[in-house]
Chains A and B, each alone.
Chain A
Amino acid sequence: MTNSREATDEKLVELALEDVDWFGLLVERYEPRLKRYILRISSFPIETVEEILQDVFLKIWKNLNGFSGSVKFSSWIYRIAHNETISAFRKAKSRGHDQQVELDETLFIPDKTDFVKEFDQQLTAVKIKKTLEHLPEKYREVLVLKFLEDQSYEEIADILRCPMGTVATLISRAKKKFRNEAEKQDIQFTS
């Protein structure tokens, strides 16, 4: 099992298709990342996030033969998680159950330093979270993927199923919106 933990995602997919128990390793590998991602883009209560996550992994299992290796496995499952979350979000909204909760600020601490460079080194996770909450869904999700989930342009294109040029445009617009929103909320940038 030690070796299998070091196996690539693609290898684990192959093994899982032969024996479902191997799928457990993929679930363990991606559960924390996907849970954090769903929380970041939805602000759903943790119980709802876990339900969505269960559905995400069941969907991944059902569609495992659809993974062909033309995209990274992580992008492929992020895409499924993204679609399930957006769908749950819209369903909840249409039923008037779109209750959102205050999230732990640590979820909004970016890993990448260039994000910090771009948006003021003093901008704290609290401020990022506060600003992101006020952005439209499409800008929020692209900023979360780029700067909080540390995904490349190509990976984001594969997750959102859009051309790379569109991703670049979205990120650029999202950054502008982010700055404007931060200014509106009196969050200062250093020059």
Chain B
Amino acid sequence: MNENLATKWWTPVSLRGVVSFAWISLLITSLMCGISWMRGDDTGTSMSLMVLIANSVIVWILPEDVPARPVPEKFGLFVVCGASMSALSINYLFHRSGTDIGLTLVDYWMASPSLVVGAAAVTAAIKSSRWFMGRATTSEALEGLARTKRHTGRITQTAKQIVLLHLGIFAILPPIWTIMLSLSPGNSLSMDFSLSTATLEHYRKMWESDRFWGWLWNSIVVSVATTIFGLTVAFPAAYGFSRYRFHGRKIGLFMFLIVQMFPGALILVPYFIVMKGFGLLNTYVGLVIAYSVTALPLCVWLMKGFFDTIPRELEEAARVDGCSQLQIFTRIIFPLSLPAVAVTCLFSFLAAWNEYLLALTFLSDTDRYTLPVGLASMVSSAQAGDSYWGDFAAASILISIPVVLLFVMFQRYLVDGMVAGAVKG
């Protein structure tokens, strides 16, 4: 084997690993800059800016291209930047501990990645100094390549898991906050949650509150009625569009397509006036009609897409065997399309369950509120003094759990359905 070749094709895995993690610390350091600036901490901002610069050097310096060209000068840069990252992060921690606020968890979180990555960069660079100088021997290179092969997967996996961890925390922070708020005593926003004072008083209050159950009942009635009514209309329409080729079919389909582009605001004002005229404000009927029509296009498109996948031959065979149209409907089409019907039901149910704007416009009587309007009214005051944040949090948790479970169970169908709706509509 050619000596040069092995050396050239090899970059020590430790350096590559350091760079992978340096990307993560780069992102966190950027946040450190932003947060220091938001705190109005000028010294901290300039320190974190310097960390950011050192970090960027480490990220960009390693030649990504293969074969790698070892450059001795880069060794120095690597060591200097790594060392300064660590030193500056420690300095930052010292600086923060000297302020009035003192060190917080956030400070540790922001400073430790660059601290660790900097130290790792120095260690890795010193260990691979021979590679930087271009003096690595073939046997070293072969050994290193083997090590690369062994460790690369684990390094990238760890890096990805760290990124996902941050992402996951970002995704569940607000729900966690809500859970903590719902468990802490008092109804104010400025909670200090601790396990020893945790209380279920808000849950109990909501559980015993007639108003909450009333809103829940309104929401259930409206959503169920919307689902049933909407499906009764959408099912035959989807079947008709899928199975029959009649004049005006394309125009009809196109109509169902463009309706989805109508802004709710355009319909809102005339809806309100017409509903007011018919005396349908503050009634279930008004809301159910409005919701069914809003959900209709998506339901029709979803189910039509599904019917298209049921072979027509099935029906023809049944017809030859002497089935009537009704029997075809009840014995063949309906059982086969149950999954699509279930997903469509779920869609229109969730749409009605979560709708806010129309409900807000149509309902002015607190006893008629649906959950979205009702819950929002609990914390509607701009100032914290008059709001029931603790009760709101407890109610939100109670409401969200079934909905989130539904989403988790049916995520495939929901995603596919939304994509289908988007691609077609």
A and B part of one assembly: no
Q: Which residues of B contact A (CB under 8 A)?
A: none
Q: Which residues of A contact B (CB under 8 A)?
A: none
